């Protein structure tokens, strides 16, 4: 016999016992996005590699090391999407969604990165993201941060910390990059191999290092904030003013940068201390040069992406496992009882929205069927025995409470169950 095939490392199954958290996250997000005027967009998981190498930047870890890329049968390089923003921009350009009124879009789904699997980090993971195009002011930044804040509230997630920073415009960033590079070069004997390599390819990314020794060195490094021009400074001040006005708590982290090349001005992350090392649950920023990098006329944008696995883990820690039990299990014994049961179940499910009703399959004695009903976790057994079928009735047995068994006329059952579900 063949041995069973296992899944690919870092690509996890999401099992029914967890699905409740995923559904809660996704349905809440859908509502909050809609309340802010964001429309959903659904995109292919596979794109031409250029969408990401141009859009994200070939010097980034994501593109240089983490992409699942392969040649199609006709020799064209394709990649599984490692993130959503580049594809949204590709689609927005292709479908004429830009260059008009402000456009608000959101997306969700699996992303793929060839990283070392560990807690909070997998090779297939899921993101929900929002993108806002056509507004370059701090009011648009505020809208994005308010959207995130309202989502955490709606999910009941307290204790997320918002960190913000400003990267300035492209010129200011480039000038700072040179200074930082010079600083890192001057201290290169204090840097490990990996950080040195990073400094060569993408010095800003060194600011992001988790290594305590590198962080200690960075305390002496030149600060981005000191390299911002008046306009950039004003933009950031205005955003902080708005946040204060709305009472949204934040911390300015002068060393916060994003891994991707296209960010400018406002960047931000929400993090938690409850997940260990992988504590960032949502990250984003302004990307006013991305549309141009993708081949369009310049057009401003800002957005974020959240890691669903990490948020689901927070919801699980907060709410615990709440299994969803069926309301009722249909027990049917006796000649032709199966037909009556199938017909009744068919009818009840149509007539009672939200009803979770299990039919008995594989026959079995009364005893066997009650055992299955009990195991299913159902609250009620709806019983069709020979007497009930002869009299046009149905018996109701309460499986989780001491309430006494009832017998109802078949015509009463729909209303009774409706009222019962409303009462629980
Ligand atoms: P990290 O610093 O954790 O590697 P990142 O900067 O690579 O994050 P982004 O590209 O900004 O992450 O993605 C946004 C969010 O998506 C992250 O904050 C995280 O919650 C989630 N995420 C990113 N990579 C993974 C992964 N491999 N597994 C699970 N979640 C992930
Ligand atoms: Mg990463």
Strand ranges inside 167-278, DSSP E: 251-252, 264-271
Last residue of a domain, one of 316, 336, 366: 316
Question: Are residues 41 and 120 both part of a single domain?
Answer: yes
Question: Are residues 247 and 345 both part of a single domain?
Answer: no
Which CATH number belongs to the domain containing residue 94 in this structure? 3.30.930.10
Question: Are residues 290 and 342 both part of a single domain?
Answer: no
Residue 121 Cα: closest atom of ligand 1 = 28
Say what percent of the chain tops pLDDT 90. Answer: 78
Q: Using the predicted structure, report yes or no on whether residue 371 has a pLDDT greater than 90.
A: yes
Question: Are residues 332 and 410 both part of a single domain?
Answer: yes
CA distance 284 to 120: 18
Question: Are residues 414 and 304 both part of a single domain?
Answer: no
Which CATH number belongs to the domain containing residue 403 in this structure? 3.40.50.800
Q: How confident is the model at residue 58 (pLDDT cuts 50, 70, 90)?
A: confident
In a 10 Å sphere around its CB, with 0-12 CB exposed, 13-18 middle and 19+ buried, how is residue 42 labelled? Answer: exposed
Q: Which of 87, 119, 125, 208 to mutate to test the pocket of ligand 1 (most atoms within 8 A of CB)?
A: 125
The mean of the pLDDT values for the chain is 94
Question: Are residues 235 and 273 both part of a single domain?
Answer: yes
Phi, psi of 177 (to 5 degrees): -55, -45
Q: Residue 369 Cα, ligand 2 centroid: separation in angstroms?
A: 51
Contact 86, 56 (CB under 8 A): yes
Question: Are residues 248 and 383 both part of a single domain?
Answer: no
Nearest to 253, CA basis, from 274, 283, 231, 230: 283
CA distance 106 to 39: 6
Contact 264, 136 (CB under 8 A): no
Q: Which has more confidence, 285 or 2?
A: 285
The answer to whether position 386 is within a domain reads yes
Residue 304 Cα: closest atom of ligand 1 = 14
Question: Are residues 290 and 376 both part of a single domain?
Answer: no
Mean pLDDT of 394-416: 95
Give me 277's structure tokens: 């090392």
Which ligand has the shortest distance to the CA of 287? 1
Question: Are residues 246 and 139 both part of a single domain?
Answer: yes
Which ligand has the shortest distance to the CA of 281? 1
Mean pLDDT of 297-315: 97
Q: Residue 62 Cα, ligand 2 centroid: separation in angstroms?
A: 7
The pLDDT tens digits of the residues spanning 71-122 come to 999 999 999 999 999 999 999 999 999 999 999 999 999 999 999 999 999 9
The pLDDT tens digits of the residues spanning 198-242 come to 888 888 888 878 788 888 998 899 988 888 999 999 999 999 999
Mean pLDDT of 281-304: 95
User: What range does the domain containing 355 cover?
Assistant: 328-423
Q: Using the predicted structure, report yes or no on whether residue 194 has a pLDDT greater than 90.
A: no
The answer to whether position 199 is within a domain reads no
CA distance 74 to 48: 13
Last residue of a domain, one of 316, 351, 374: 316
CA distance 344 to 113: 49
Number of domains in the chain: 2
The pLDDT tens digits of the residues spanning 143-162 come to 999 999 999 999 999 999 99
Give me 288's structure tokens: 């006013």
Strand ranges inside 113-215, DSSP E: 124-133, 161-166
Contact 52, 85 (CB under 8 A): no
Q: How confident is the model at residue 62 (pLDDT cuts 50, 70, 90)?
A: confident
Q: Which of 83, 84, 278 to mutate to test the pocket of ligand 1 (most atoms within 8 A of CB)?
A: 278
CA distance 151 to 136: 23
CA distance 245 to 248: 8
Mean pLDDT of 34-60: 92
Mean pLDDT of 252-258: 89
Q: Residue 126 Cα, ligand 1 centroid: separation in angstroms?
A: 9
* Residue 378 confidence (pLDDT): 97
The pLDDT tens digits of the residues spanning 326-364 come to 999 999 998 889 999 999 999 999 999 999 999 999 999
Which ligand has the shortest distance to the CA of 308? 1
- Which residue, by CA, sits nearest to atom 25 of ligand 1? 121
Last residue of a domain, one of 275, 293, 316: 316
Q: Which has more confidence, 102 or 62?
A: 102
Q: How confident is the model at residue 259 (pLDDT cuts 50, 70, 90)?
A: low
Ligand 1 is surrounded, with C-beta below 6 A, by 83, 113, 115, 121-122, 125, 127, 259, 278, 280-283, 305-307, 309-310
Q: Residue 260 Cα, ligand 2 centroid: separation in angstroms?
A: 10
The answer to whether position 49 is within a domain reads yes
Nearest to 118, CA basis, from 257, 313, 316: 313
Q: How confident is the model at residue 424 (pLDDT cuts 50, 70, 90)?
A: confident
The pLDDT tens digits of the residues spanning 162-183 come to 999 999 998 998 899 899 999 9
């Amino acid at each position: 016999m063949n041995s069973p095939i296992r899944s690919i490392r870092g690509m996890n199954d999401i099992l029914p016992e967890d699905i409740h958290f995923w559904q809660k996250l996704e349905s809440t997000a859908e509502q909050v996005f809609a309340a802010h005027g964001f429309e959903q967009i659904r995109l292919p998981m596979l794109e031409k590699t250029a969408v990401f190498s141009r859009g994200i930047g070939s010097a980034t870890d994501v593109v240089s090391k983490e992409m699942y890329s392969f040649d199609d049968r006709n020799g064209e390089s394709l990649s599984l999407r490692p993130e959503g923003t580049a594809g949204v921009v590709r689609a927005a350009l292709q479908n004429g969604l830009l260059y008009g009124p402000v456009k608000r879009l959101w997306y969700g789904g699996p992303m793929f990165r060839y990283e070392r699997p560990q807690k909070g980090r997998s090779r297939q993971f899921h993101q929900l993201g929002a993108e806002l195009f056509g507004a370059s002011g701090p009011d648009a930044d505020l809208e994005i941060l308010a959207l995130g804040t309202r989502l955490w509230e709606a999910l009941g997630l307290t204790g997320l910390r918002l960190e913000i920073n400003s990267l300035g415009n492209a010129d200011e960033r480039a000038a700072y990059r040179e200074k930082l590079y010079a600083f890192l070069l001057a201290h290169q004997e204090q840097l490990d191999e990996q950080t040195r390599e990073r400094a060569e390819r993408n010095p800003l990314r060194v600011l992001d290092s988790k290594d305590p020794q590198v962080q200690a060195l960075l305390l002496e490094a030149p600060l981005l904030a000191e390299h911002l021009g008046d306009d950039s400074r004003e933009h950031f001040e205005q955003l902080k003013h708005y946040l204060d006005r709305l009472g949204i708590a934040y911390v300015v982290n002068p060393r916060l940068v994003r891994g991707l090349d296209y960010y400018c001005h406002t960047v931000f992350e929400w993090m938690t201390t409850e997940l260990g090392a992988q504590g960032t649950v949502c990250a984003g920023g302004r990307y006013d040069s991305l549309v141009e990098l993708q081949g369009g006329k310049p057009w401003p944008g800002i957005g974020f992406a959240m890691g669903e696995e990490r948020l689901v883990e927070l919801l699980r820690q907060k709410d615990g496992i709440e299994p969803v039990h069926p309301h009722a299990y249909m027990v049917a014994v006796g000649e032709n009882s199966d037909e009556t049961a199938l017909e009744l179940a068919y009818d009840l499910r149509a007539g009672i929205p939200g009803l979770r009703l299990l039919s008995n399959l594989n026959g079995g004695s009364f005893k066997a069927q009650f055992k299955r009903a009990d195991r299913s976790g159902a609250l009620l057994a709806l019983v069709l025995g020979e007497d009930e079928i002869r009299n046009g009735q149905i018996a109701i047995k309460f499986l989780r409470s001491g309430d006494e068994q009832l017998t109802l006329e078949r015509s009463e059952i729909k209303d009774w169950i409706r009222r019962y579900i409303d009462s629980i």
